Structure 1
Amino acid sequence: MSGGEQRPEPSLADVLGGRGGAVDATVPVVAFVLVFTLGDALGWPSPVAWGGGAAVLSAAVVAVVRMVGGRRPRAVLFGLLGVAVAALVAGYTGRAVDFFLVQIATNAASALAWAVSIVVRWPLLGLVVGTALGQRTRWRRDPHLLRGYQRASWVWVGQYLVRLAVFLPLYWADAVVALGVARTVLTWPLVALCVALSWPVLRSALPPGHGGLRHPEAQGEAARPTA
């Protein structure tokens, strides 16, 4: 590659990474639902506790595998902590459906946080992508990128609202198995769809000739006459 050759413009999927984290998040859920359902059917004492233990154990195994594979320990440990808290909540209340309470609260908080970030003109998608590209907040000086990140961030708000619209009725109905299925289906597939939709929405805000995600342009910079 010659020194003046530019790297190709990355897509959001390239910047935000693969599906590993989203897939990992479903393993403890599947373990919880399977063990709880089996224990409940066989009359085990405290099937909720058994399910919670299976979820934590599977999350710990996933964490070890990912750290050995080179993933950042902090991200892995946060995932393990989330599963442990969910198991503790369900164990405390004695209701299997409460294993999903943390996930429901997290989605509600995330929807609110993303919406507020758009309104205050600090869209979270811009912060995530800007950090991943090593730009910090330079993208905010580009009105086109700022507008694009605002538009695309609404797609992510929609992602969390879709989950809430599915999870809440199932939670109120005490539908543990259905919640487990919904939690699995609405993890990686929904994230993938969200990324796929975000990219054209963001690009639609960039005028022809714009430098793209890697090259934010300060206001008026593109129109500056060249020598």
Structure 2
Amino acid sequence: MLGGRGGAVDASVPVVVFVVAWLVADALRAPSAVGWAAAVAVLGGAVVAAVRLGTGTRPRAVIFGLLGVAVAALVALYTGRAVDFFLVQLVSNAASALAWTVSIVIRWPLLGLVVGAALGQGVRWRRDPDLLRGYRRASWVWVGQYVLRVAVFLPLYFADAVAALGIARIGLTWPLIVVCVALSWRVLRRTLPPGHPGLRHPRAAAAARDGR
């Protein structure tokens, strides 16, 4: 789900090299500081992708990661504003907050779908009212992390604070996800009643009502 520590590094490298390249090019008054920064970011993403492919990482994950960097770079090149390198991230977090909220409201919490797929149990957890309630409550933690990012990114974006956005982008990626995983797990565990067999063993609605 999270890509592990390697995934966190992969996501951070293009951001770091973009910000550093833009700061250097801007300080040197290069004709196209944004162009240089975008090129370096894509190059950094390509190097990371090549390394991951060489270590056996699934090609699809590598391609999606590189595609995200390329799109962000193209947006910045199109507008000519370095801050727009973070626009895709800002929009995707707002969209993710909305998607997770909708999934909770319609009783198909995305956390349940992700964990159910990871455990190979499909959507059997939806027949267990305790698990359904737990996944719904725990999913709000994930809504909160997306909302937090938007709340931090948005004022920095409008202030054209490129370096600060880069720092926030890294600080609110894997460290925040680690906290989010811990909190959502705690919420889920506290929601399940005593005697519940746990995530790996969804109970049918009748069994859950009878306490079996």
TM (norm. structure 1) is: 0.89
Q: Percent identity?
A: 72
8 Å CA contact 1:16–1:129 kept in 2: the answer is: no
Residues 1-227 of structure 1: pairs in structure 2 closer than 5 A: 18-222=4-208
- 1:73: Cα distance to partner? 1.3
Measure, in 1, the Cα distance between the counterparts of 2:98 and 2:17: 30
8 Å CA contact 2:128–2:208 kept in 1: the answer is: no
8 Å CA contact 2:129–2:208 kept in 1: the answer is: no
| Count of residues in Structure 1 that have an aligned counterpart in Structure 2 | 212
Amino acid at match of 1:27: V
Q: Which structure carries more relative contact order (alpha carbon 8 Å, separation 6+)?
A: 1
Gaps of 5+ in 1: 1-14
Gaps of 5+ in 2: none
- 1:70: Cα distance to partner? 2.2
Q: Alpha carbons of 1:32 and 1:206: their partners in 2 closer, same or farther (altered >3 Å)?
A: same
Q: Alpha carbons of 1:16 and 1:84: their partners in 2 closer, same or farther (altered >3 Å)?
A: closer
> Which is helix-richer, 1 or 2?
2
8 Å CA contact 2:93–2:147 kept in 1: the answer is: yes
1:177-204 residue CA offsets vs partner (Å, 9 max, x unmatched): 0000110110110001100100010111
Measure, in 1, the Cα distance between the counterparts of 2:119 and 2:4: 16
- 1:224: Cα distance to partner? 5.8
1:99-124 residue CA offsets vs partner (Å, 9 max, x unmatched): 00000000000000000000000000
Amino acid at match of 2:87: L
Q: Alpha carbons of 1:133 and 1:225: their partners in 2 closer, same or farther (altered >3 Å)?
A: closer
1:125-171 residue CA offsets vs partner (Å, 9 max, x unmatched): 00011001111111111111111110010000000000001000000
Give secondary structure in 2 for the equivalent of 1:19: helix
8 Å CA contact 1:152–1:199 kept in 2: the answer is: yes
- 1:18: Cα distance to partner? 2.4
Amino acid at match of 1:93: T
Measure, in 2, the Cα distance between the counterparts of 1:17 and 1:143: 30
